[in-house]
Copies of this chain bind each other. A is one copy, B any other.
Amino acid sequence: MIKIAVMGHGVVGSGVVEVFYKNRESIQQKAGHEMDIAHILDLREFPETPYADKFTKNFDDILNDETVKIVVETMGGVHPAYDYVKACLQNGKSVVTSNKELVATMGAELIHIAKDKNVNFLFEASVGGGIPILRPITQCLAANEITEIDGILNGTTNYILTQMIQNAVSFEDALKTAQQLGYAERDPSADVDGHDACRKICILSALAFGKHVYPKQVYTEGISKITLADVAYLESIHHVIKLIGKTKKLEGGKHVFATVYPAVISSHCQLASVDDVYNAVMVRGDAIGDVVFYGRGAGKLPTASAVVADVIDCAKHLETRKLLCWADGDDDYVADYKTDTVGMYVRMNGNTDAIKADVNGAFSGVKFLSRADAPADEIAFVTPAMPEKAFDEKMQAVGGEIQSKIRVLDL
């Protein structure tokens, strides 16, 4: 009998308990062991649940219970989750977490502790909710040299952008609806400003390329400045705006680009048809080409299902350390995003004839766009791809006021 503890009985944690007991028979069969949840740690009271007798407010009840071999951490945030997880690993317990902030900031250290103690530290649910991504990258694509990962990693922002693109709802109104539907928090900044997607691209980059990228190293830009005017201009050339997390290995493999920003992509790209709260991750490998994983990136049961799958994996490999590993990061590892090659969509106000002449003088191969009911002083265009630094320099020669500037990715 393998005993499990669950730390944090919020949305995901309660889902873990629910999924475990609902599918317990087949879970035990797949794990090859009898299993039960022994403790649930939460400071709140849950007298109504059928598992009320399993609740504790004291972490030591879990840490000191030697029959507990697998601990699930679904508390969120870095503290005290980090201290609890570290203590569990050091005590020889495997840990499964859905906490992307914890993994993105402390992953390398926790993996090393797990390795030293010959236990597992698994976190499939930290990226893409229930979509299998991390294990396929580390196992199924193991024969590939992965060169790039691009993903729609945040369901809230994708819902908002979908509303803007398909129904011409403004950013503000779409955000309000997302809050009403429970897709966005009352303080939506972690989603809307790109921080959530940033943590996930850190984890994906570390797994794919073997070295930690810290959130503060990732250039991160949110979607709050996107307007319906931009959506309309881009629709005219069959392109859409998506919040894309990107990590790409540079020539030689010593550096990576790692960014999160709203990007213009062709509607032919497989990521363009990922709508509403869905997530998708595109992995590019030298042998496999492009592979896309698609599904619900958040939500109680999808995320819980990924956590429980990791629990099963821990139970199957109680003494076998999984060879999932990455090195600490360093200050030089992430290259300046301004040296990455991107096209640029620009919307400006001013004397459009003068701007057009400036733009054509500064760039070659620019495409000017049109939309219905555009003001007479508005102009929009897309430049060919070039290092962003070169774009910035060329734009010095262009008069007028920039309203929008969105990078164009050729995925």
Interfacial residues of chain A within 96-147, with CB under 8 A of chain B in the complex: 124, 130-132, 135-136, 138-145
A124 to B301, CA, bound (A): 27
A293 to B137, CA, bound (A): 13
Closest Cβ of chain B to A27, distance in Å, is: 6
* B139–A313 CB distance below 8 A: yes
* A130–B287 CB distance below 8 A: yes
A296 at the interface (CB under 8 A from B): yes
* A312–B136 CB distance below 8 A: no
List the B side residues contacting A20 at CB < 8 Å.
143
Interfacial residues of chain A within 16-34, with CB under 8 A of chain B in the complex: 19-20, 22-23, 26-27, 30, 32
Interfacial residues of chain A within 304-363, with CB under 8 A of chain B in the complex: 304-309, 311-313, 316-317, 320, 323
Bitwise, A20-59 to B at CB < 8 A (1) or not (0) is 1011001100101000000000000000000000000000
* A288–B296 CB distance below 8 A: yes
A289 to B19, CA, bound (A): 13
Task: Name A142's contact: one of B27, B136, B142 (CB within 8 Å).
Answer: B27
Task: Name A143's contact: one of B142, B292, B304 (CB within 8 Å).
Answer: B304
A26 to B124, CA, bound (A): 22
Copies in the complex: 2
* B295–A141 CB distance below 8 A: no
Q: How many chain-A residues does the 8 Å CB contact rule pick out?
A: 53
A286 to B18, CA, bound (A): 12
List the B side residues contacting A304 at CB < 8 Å.
143, 287
A220 at the interface (CB under 8 A from B): no
List the B side residues contacting A296 at CB < 8 Å.
288-291
Task: Name A302's contact: one of B22, B124, B289, B308 (CB within 8 Å).
Answer: B289
Closest Cβ of chain B to A167, distance in Å, is: 14
* B289–A292 CB distance below 8 A: no
A400 at the interface (CB under 8 A from B): no
Sample of 14 further A-B pairs with CB below 8 A, known A286-B301, A293-B293: A15-B287, A32-B323, A132-B141, A135-B135, A135-B140, A140-B309, A142-B308, A142-B312, A143-B312, A287-B301, A288-B295, A288-B305, A289-B299, A291-B296
- Chain A interfacial positions (CB closer than 8 Å to B): 15, 19-20, 22-23, 26-27, 30, 32, 124, 130-132, 135-136, 138-145, 270, 273, 285-296, 299, 301-302, 304-309, 311-313, 316-317, 320, 323
